[in-house]
Structure 1
Amino acid sequence: MSDSVATQIVQRVEIVRDFARSDLFDRTFKEGMALVEETAAYLDGDGRRDSRLLNREDALAYAGESMRLTTRLMQIASWLLVQRAVREGDMEAADACEERYRLSPVQGSAADAGEKMPEGLISLLDRANRLYERISHMDKRMFIDAESEAPAVNQVLNQMQLLQNAFGTATEARQ
């Protein structure tokens, strides 16, 4: 492992630790967990009632959207719990940097304008999507962008170093 790669890893680990200790993490964690609880209550209560009032086609779309919503929220909760584990010392920040803890790519909604979704579900979907986008942005900044922020290699200096290695310095050549 080169020194620059090792430095990158150390920097990324520090970014993860700093984020896990931040007020932004506290607020995001509380918001995410509250949304998970609110969604569970809705789907077990008013959402169940609302879905019974839908025609067959819309009820199938509702079922698909509610599954998409719960999947999205589980991804959010999982990501937040990994960050909390880092904060509480239950997980090393370096482990949290592993690819398996990244968010999965988002899949769009299958519902179209013709389907009548209950307002409660639409509101939860919107809030979950906005939270997912924010967390996805944080994940990208912490992990993906951090990898691409390696110092740029000066190609001229790099070529000069290769020449120097191949032929030695000018003073060595004269001796």
Structure 2
Amino acid sequence: MSDSTAPANIRVSIVRDFASSDLFDRTFKEGMALVEETAAYLDGDGRRDSRLLPREDALLYAGESMRLTTRLMQIASWLLVQRAVREGDMPAQDACDEKYRIAALKAEAADAAATLPGGLLSLLDRSNRLYERISHMDKRMFVDGETEELEINPVMNQMAMLQNAFSAGGLAGGFGSPEA
């Protein structure tokens, strides 16, 4: 067995554990509610608010609303991958693929608070905070999780290696399973 298998198994376990956690439930509900609230604002009050802005500020509004929707699409996509793992629609191992990582957040426009409507500013702030939390979770699950488990918790590394050895050895349920 290669040492590269242990980190992958640890990540898979971390993804499964997170997807079945209360933290995921709360984050998923918060993220999807923010997506719905943003859509309602941009189609309703936000549309009216943007029409009242001077041309230069309306352009800033358009740019910031596009950043907002892009950020929320990335949040929703990440959350939906985790939900797919939870519901068994996607193997946790597939969810570990780099293409499902959350992208780095781009720098925000300066001095937007002075000219943009309060509704948009509130959504921008809340989406930024949620994005940062999810980005932190993603990093902990996929970058730090691998390194820390191997360096800080050698017991987890050994458990993953044992699980691989027993699974690879043909035991039906793997290590710790009632069928084993």
TM-score by length of 2: 0.80
Q: Which runs of 5+ in 1 are unaligned?
A: 153-175
Question: How far apart, CA to CA, are the structure 1 residues paired with 2:13 and 2:56?
Answer: 50
After TM superposition, the structure 1 = structure 2 runs for residues 85-96 of structure 1, keeping only pairs within 5 Å, are 85-96=84-95
Shift of 1:147: 2.9
Aligned AA for 2:147? S
SS in structure 2 at match of 1:9: helix
Superimposed CA distance per residue, residues 30-54 of structure 1 (whole angstroms, 9 cap, x where no aligned partner):
0000000000000000000000010
Q: Which residue of 1 aligns with 2:103?
A: 104
Q: Structure 1 residue 12 and structure 2 residue 11: aligned?
A: yes
After TM superposition, the structure 1 = structure 2 runs for residues 145-164 of structure 1, keeping only pairs within 5 Å, are 145-149=144-148, 150-151=150-151
Q: Which residue of 1 aligns with 2:116?
A: 117
After TM superposition, the structure 1 = structure 2 runs for residues 1-175 of structure 1, keeping only pairs within 5 Å, are 2=2, 4-113=3-112, 115-149=114-148, 150-151=150-151
SS in structure 1 at match of 2:4: helix
Aligned length: 151
Structure ID, larger Rg: 1
Seq. identity, %: 76
Superimposed CA distance per residue, residues 70-105 of structure 1 (whole angstroms, 9 cap, x where no aligned partner):
000000000000000000000000000000000011
Question: How far apart, CA to CA, are the structure 2 residues paired with 1:93 and 1:114?
Answer: 41
Cα contact 1:21–1:87 (8 A) shared by 2: yes
Cα contact 2:14–2:141 (8 A) shared by 1: yes
| The 10-residue stretch of structure 1 (134-143 or 102-111) with the greater mean CA deviation from structure 2 | 102-111
Q: Which residue of 1 aligns with 2:176?
A: none
Shift of 1:111: 4.0
Aligned AA for 1:75? Q
Shift of 1:7: 1.2
Indicate the RMSD between aligned Cα atoms, in angstroms: 1.4
TM-score by length of 1: 0.83
Question: How far apart, CA to CA, are the structure 2 residues paired with 1:39 and 1:7?
Answer: 41
Question: How far apart, CA to CA, are the structure 2 residues paired with 1:20 and 1:148?
Answer: 20
Aligned AA for 2:89? D
Cα contact 1:103–1:136 (8 A) shared by 2: yes
Aligned AA for 1:58? D
Question: How far apart, CA to CA, are the structure 1 residues paired with 2:130 and 2:113?
Answer: 26
Structure 1 residues 29 and 10, CA gap change in structure 2 (3 angstroms): same
Q: Which runs of 5+ in 2 are unaligned?
A: 153-180
Cα contact 2:31–2:130 (8 A) shared by 1: yes
Question: How far apart, CA to CA, are the structure 2 residues paired with 1:47 and 1:21?
Answer: 36
Shift of 1:110: 1.8
Cα contact 2:19–2:82 (8 A) shared by 1: yes
